[in-house]
């Protein structure tokens, strides 16, 4: 597994890099013998260190963990433990994605049927941008291309739980429409399926085609 350890506007010494590479390799190897690649990024947030860990365990499958601590070693170890916990939770299902032929076909289907979309990062509102003469249009600070995969709801929930993002947009494998799963404030996962609304409306209207 190729492991990259780096800092954003922060110097990462050889001792810290070596410790993180060894710790991450040991944690991931308990569950996978041949993950694709991993990355650990350290940043400063006020007086704290933030560690963000990303591990690609398979095509289109990303496992993430993050942590904040006053010490970079503590933050890195905690973020790696978050990744290990997620790998532990989905160990059987993730290994199925690697080993079983039908799961390989599912991955190929998910990638082949993916929609390519533009993804944007918008600047947060600030008093400086809220002047009377300022435009109401948001400021784009980053632009990238992203794939919207075709997944079952179970696969989408698994991918959401493996990462740190609050929501995941995907194409429903059953009917092809765009769906959304997201983290609720009560700790549960929300699921939005516009297709279900249209199906219910069609069923309630006699003679209307679905």
Domain co-membership, 29 together with 47: yes
Domain co-membership, 111 together with 150: yes
Domain co-membership, 153 together with 64: no
- Sheet architecture: strand order including 150-151: 150-151, 167-172, 178-183, 189-192
Is 126 part of any domain? yes
Residue 141 pLDDT > 80: no
Q: What is the pLDDT of residue 145?
A: 78
Q: Which of the two residues, 115 and 169, has the higher pLDDT score? A: 169
Range of the domain at 6: 2-94
Q: Domain boundary residue among 72, 94, 116? A: 94
Instruction: Kindly state the average pLDDT of the residues 176-196.
Output: 89
Considering 34-38, 67-71, 118-122, the range whose residues carry the highest mean pLDDT is 67-71
Q: What is the pLDDT of residue 89?
A: 85
CATH number at residue 33: 3.30.160.100
Q: Kindly report whether the global pTM for this prediction surpasses the value 0.75.
A: no
Domain co-membership, 109 together with 80: no
Name residues whose C-beta falls within 8 Å of residue 119's C-beta, 6 or more positions apart in sequence: 143, 144, 145, 146
Beta-strand pair 37-45/2-7: parallel
> If you count them, how many residues does the chain have?
210
DSSP class of residue 206 equals T
Domain co-membership, 129 together with 187: yes
Q: Which two tokens stand for residue 87?
A: 């790998």
Q: Domain boundary residue among 52, 73, 94? A: 94
Is 116 part of any domain? yes
Instruction: Kindly state the average pLDDT of the residues 153-164.
Output: 87
Instruction: Kindly state the average pLDDT of the residues 119-143.
Output: 68
Q: What is the pLDDT of residue 131?
A: 53
Domain co-membership, 153 together with 115: yes
Domain co-membership, 79 together with 137: no
197 pLDDT band, cuts 50/70/90, is low
Q: What is the pLDDT of residue 41?
A: 96
Domain co-membership, 109 together with 200: yes
Domain co-membership, 133 together with 187: yes
Name residues whose C-beta falls within 8 Å of residue 129's C-beta, 6 or more positions apart in sequence: 123, 139
Is 58 part of any domain? yes
Percent of the chain with pLDDT over 70: 78
Domain co-membership, 106 together with 137: yes
Instruction: Kindly state the average pLDDT of the residues 173-182.
Output: 89
Domain co-membership, 75 together with 111: no
Neighbours of 195 (CB within 10 A): 14
Tell me the DSSP string of 43-73. Answer: EEETTEEEEEEEEEEETTEEEEEEEEESSHH
Is 15 part of any domain? yes
How far apart are the two ends of the chain, measured CA to CA in Å? 48
Q: Domain boundary residue among 38, 65, 94? A: 94
CATH number at residue 118: 3.30.505.50
User: Can you say whether the dihedral through the CA atoms of 117, 123, 124, 130 is positive or negative?
Assistant: negative
Burial 83-104 (b: 16+ CB within 10 A, else e): bbebbeebeeebeebbeeeebe
Is 210 part of any domain? no
Number of domains in the chain: 2
147 pLDDT band, cuts 50/70/90, is confident
The C-alpha R_g of the chain, in whole angstroms, comes to 21
Q: What is the pLDDT of residue 53?
A: 95
Is 111 part of any domain? yes
Q: What is the pLDDT of residue 113?
A: 63
Q: Which of the two residues, 22 and 209, has the higher pLDDT score? A: 22
Is 209 part of any domain? no
Q: Which two tokens stand for residue 30?
A: 């308990």
Is 136 part of any domain? yes
Domain co-membership, 121 together with 52: no
* Per-residue model confidence as pLDDT tens digits over 16-54: 999 999 999 999 988 877 777 899 999 999 899 999 999
């Amino acid at each position: 597994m190729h492991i990259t350890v780096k800092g954003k506007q922060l110097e990462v010494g050889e001792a810290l890099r070596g410790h993180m590479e060894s710790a991450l390799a040991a944690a991931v190897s308990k569950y996978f013998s041949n993950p694709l690649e991993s990355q650990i990024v350290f940043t400063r947030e006020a007086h704290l260190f933030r560690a963000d860990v990303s591990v690609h365990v398979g095509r289109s499958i990303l496992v993430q963990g993050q942590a904040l601590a006053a010490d970079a070693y503590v933050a890195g170890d905690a973020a790696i433990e978050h990744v290990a916990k997620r790998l532990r939770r989905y160990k059987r299902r993730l290994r199925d994605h690697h080993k079983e032929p039908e799961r390989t076909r599912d991955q190929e289907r998910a990638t082949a049927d993916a929609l390519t979309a533009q993804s944007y990062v918008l600047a947060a509102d600030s008093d400086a941008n809220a002047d009377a003469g300022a435009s109401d249009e948001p400021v784009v600070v980053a632009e990238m291309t992203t794939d919207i995969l075709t997944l079952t709801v179970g696969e989408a929930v698994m991918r959401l739980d493996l990462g740190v993002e609050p929501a995941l947009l995907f194409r429903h494998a059953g009917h092809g429409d765009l769906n959304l799963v997201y983290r609720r404030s009560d700790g549960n996962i929300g699921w939005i399926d516009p297709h279900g609304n249209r199906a219910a409306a069609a069923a309630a209207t006699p003679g209307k085609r679905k």
